[in-house]
Amino acid sequence: MIVIHSEEHRLQAGRSELNDGQLVPCYEKPARADIVRARIEAVGLGPVVEPTRHGIAPLERVHDAGYLGFLQTAWDDWVAEHGADIDALPLNWVAPGMSRRRVPRSIDGRLGFYSFDAGTPITAGTWRAATSAADSALTGADRLRAGDRSAFALCRPPGHHAGHAFYGGYCFLNNAAIAAQSLRDGGAARVAVLDVDYHHGNGTQEIFWERGDVLFVSIHADPADEFPYFCGHADETGAGAGEGANLNLTLPWGTDWNAYAQALAVAAARIREFGADALVLSLGADTYGGDPISRFRLLSEDFLRMGAAIAGLGLPTLFVMEGGYAVDDLGVNVANVLTGFEQV
């Protein structure tokens, strides 16, 4: 399978995130993509190619124009206010009852307006890195349209927490949603997005919430216990034309392959029933037992089984990289999904 990857990912290299009451080094760091690329080359998965530039139009199909404008100038606005020595992190958010009608003028206000956590620093290279990742996903969608059975967009920064007009959870542009919309615009009548990252893909859910043409299925840690906390519950099923086209499968801390495989079978059955023409797979490997910020217990060999189960759907499949922070084992775990898929 072809792998799409840009070196520009390393322009996103935040210094620190707020975690457990402390500023700690960012878990979402360039070494993640480097080790995945190295493993993919070692196992000879397929050629690694640069993304082609797709410009702003396909981003605007999914994201708010005002939000995209904010992201493009946020770093310069931050530097003008605070200097270039510190990454931009938000500190204030709206609570229920506060007005969200006006976009604040101040950069600090706008960081809070367009975000939902303090774990996602904006840096000098954030916009370029994020657009390179979106371009990788879009180039992967192009490959499916050209007839490839599968493609892997090795995206960094990740995307599934980014919504129509917000960032957070290390995500700025929703690479998977942008690719899914691109497949729709390219002629696929129905597209399924399956999110196997440990965390709920709240951004993807929000973007397709009222859409009956894009099915979103996510298998993740119960948000009662886990980030992003405020959505991802089983009773969130979509609205309007999208009623029933959103499926959240929540699992408890400590979940192993046995329980995970059962949820994956339920997800697969729903995707089959939906009758998708193409599948976008949000591929996080933070379900791994060794992940430093997550609490499932998958083993490296389980990711081979995951890939095989996904292949069983028989759909043109675009894999889009999301989370996974056990860096030493991340290459093996991600490559295992892809080789497990190819072996079917």
Judged by beta carbon, residue 119 or residue 238, the one nearer ligand OKS is: 119
- Residue 170 near ligand OKS by CB under 6 A: yes
Q: How far from chain centre, in Å, is Cα 138? A: 14
- Residue 127 near ligand OKS by CB under 6 A: no
Binding string, 84-113, against ligand OKS, x = CB under 6 A? ------------------------------
Token couple for 68: 């995209």
169 binds, among ligand OKS, Zn ion, none (CB under 5 to 8 A by kind): ligand OKS
- Closest of 80, 27, 51 to residue 284, by C-alpha: 27
32 binds, among Zn ion, ligand OKS, none (CB under 5 to 8 A by kind): none
300 binds, among Zn ion, ligand OKS, none (CB under 5 to 8 A by kind): none
For residue 215, what are the β-bridge partners? Answer: 192
19 binds, among Zn ion, ligand OKS, none (CB under 5 to 8 A by kind): ligand OKS
- Residue 296 near ligand OKS by CB under 6 A: no
Ordered DSSP codes for 201-250: -HHHHHHHTT-SSEEEEEEEE-TTTSTT-SS--TT----GGGTT-EEEEE
Residue of 10, 15, 16, 19 interacting with ligand OKS (CB under 6 A): 19
Task: Look at strands 278-283 and 191-195 and give their pairing.
Answer: parallel
Choice among 161, 199, 200, 220 that is catalytic: 161
CA 28/CA 323 separation, integer angstroms: 8
**HSE (CB half, 13 Å, CA atoms) of 118?**
13
Helix %, strand %, coil % of the chain (to 5): 40, 15, 45
- Residue 329 near ligand OKS by CB under 6 A: no
**Total Cβ atoms within 10 A of residue 78:** 23
Residue of 159, 284, 307, 340 interacting with ligand OKS (CB under 6 A): 284
Residues 6+ apart with CB under 8 A from 58: 134, 138, 178, 181, 182, 185
Q: How far is the CB of 202 from ligand OKS (least distance, A)?
A: 9
Residue nearest to Zn ion (CB): 323
Active site residue 161: yes
Residue of 37, 199, 270, 297 interacting with ligand OKS (CB under 6 A): 199
With H, G, I as helix, E, B as strand and everything else as coil, classify residue 133: helix
- Residue 227 near ligand OKS by CB under 6 A: yes
208 binds, among ligand OKS, Zn ion, none (CB under 5 to 8 A by kind): none
For residue 251, what are the β-bridge partners? Answer: 221
Would you name the residues annotated as active-site residues?
161
